[in-house]
C-alpha cells in the first residue's frame, strides 16, 4: 500500500525582511522610552540572527566592541535565564552599523555596567516583557508597511542575507547556533550559485528573440496526424 503523501505546509516558505523593509521597521519604532531600545533590538536581531531569548539575555560584557563580536552566553526563556538552546555559548560577528548603535545605546542608558542587560526596560533595568515586545513589534511592522513576519523570523533575515552575501553555510550554522546542519540548509537557495547555472542556461539557449519562431509558425500551419 502506498503511504499517503504529506501535504506541504504553507509556512515552509522562508519569511524575512529585505534590507529596505528592515530600515522602515526601525524607523517605525515608537518615539517613546521603549522605542529607543526597540530600534536597536530590531537591528541586532536582524544583523546577528540571535533568538529572542538570547537577545533579552545579553549583557554589556557580552558585547566586544574591540573584536566586533557579540557573545551568546544566556537565554531568557520561560521567565528565567538559562543556557542557549544549543547549551553551548557562541559568538557572532558584529557589523560596524550595529556596533555604533549599541555604543550609542550604552551611552544613553542608565544601565551600562558590565552585568546590566543590554536590552532592558529603560526605567527599571529589568528584562523586557516578551509578549508586550512581540505586540509592539507587530504594530511597528504595520506602521512600516512591511511584510508580516514574527519577531523570530528576523533570524531568517540574517540567515538569508548572509547566504546571499556568500557566507559559507557552515559559518551561518555556527553563528545561528544550529545543532543540525540540515536546519541551515533552508538558506542554501539564497546563496550565490557556485555552478553559475544562469550563465550556462544563457549559453545553451541564447538571449532569446520573439517567443514564436519561424519553425513554430510553420508547424502551426501544417496538418497534424
Q: HEC states along 30-88?
A: CCCHHHHHHHHHHHHHHHHCCCHHHHHCCEHHHEECCCCEEEECCEEECCEEECCCCCC
State the pTM of this model: 0.84
Confidence of residue 84 (pLDDT cuts 50, 70, 90): confident
Q: Which set of grid coordinates corresponds to residue 24? A: 522602515
Residue-wise pLDDT for 173-214, tens only, equals: 999 999 999 999 999 999 999 899 999 999 999 876 665 554
Domains of the chain: 14-176 (1.10.443.10)
* pLDDT-wise least confident of 53-57, 74-78, 86-90, 109-113: 86-90
Residue-wise pLDDT for 129-147, tens only, equals: 999 999 999 999 999 999 9
- Phi and psi (nearest 5°) for 71? -95, 135
Catalytic residues: 51, 85, 152, 155, 178, 187
* Mean pLDDT in residue range 32-39: 96
Amino acid at each position: 500500500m502506498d503511504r499517503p503523501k504529506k501535504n506541504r505546509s504553507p509556512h515552509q516558505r522562508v519569511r524575512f525582511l529585505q534590507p529596505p523593509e528592515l530600515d522602515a521597521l526601525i524607523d517605525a519604532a515608537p518615539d517613546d522610552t521603549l522605542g529607543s531600545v526597540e530600534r536597536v533590538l530590531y537591528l541586532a536581531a536582524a544583523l546577528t540572527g540571535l533568538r529572542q531569548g538570547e537577545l533579552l539575555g545579553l549583557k554589556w560584557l557580552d558585547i566586544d566592541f574591540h573584536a566586533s563580536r557579540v557573545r551568546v552566553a544566556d537565554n531568557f526563556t520561560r521567565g528565567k535565564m538559562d543556557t542557549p538552546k544549543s547549551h553551548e555559548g557562541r559568538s557572532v560577528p558584529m557589523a560596524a552599523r550595529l556596533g555604533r548603535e549599541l555604543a550609542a545605546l550604552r551611552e544613553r542608558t542608565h544601565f551600562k555596567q558590565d552585568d546590566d542587560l543590554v536590552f532592558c526596560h529603560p526605567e527599571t533595568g529589568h528584562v523586557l516583557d516578551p509578549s508586550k515586545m512581540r505586540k509592539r513589534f507587530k504594530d511597528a511592522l504595520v506602521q512600516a508597511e512591511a511584510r508580516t513576519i514574527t519577531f523570530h523570523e528576523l533570524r531568517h533575515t540574517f540567515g538569508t542575507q548572509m547566504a546571499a552575501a556568500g557566507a559559507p553555510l557552515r559559518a551561518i550554522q555556527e553563528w545561528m547556533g544550529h545543532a543540525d546542519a540540515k536546519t541551515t540548509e533552508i538558506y542554501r537557495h539564497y546563496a550565490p550559485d557556485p555552478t553559475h547555472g544562469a550563465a550556462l542556461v544563457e549559453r545553451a539557449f541564447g538571449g532569446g528573440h520573439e517567443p514564436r519562431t519561424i519553425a513554430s509558425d510553420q508547424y502551426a500551419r501544417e496538418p497534424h496526424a
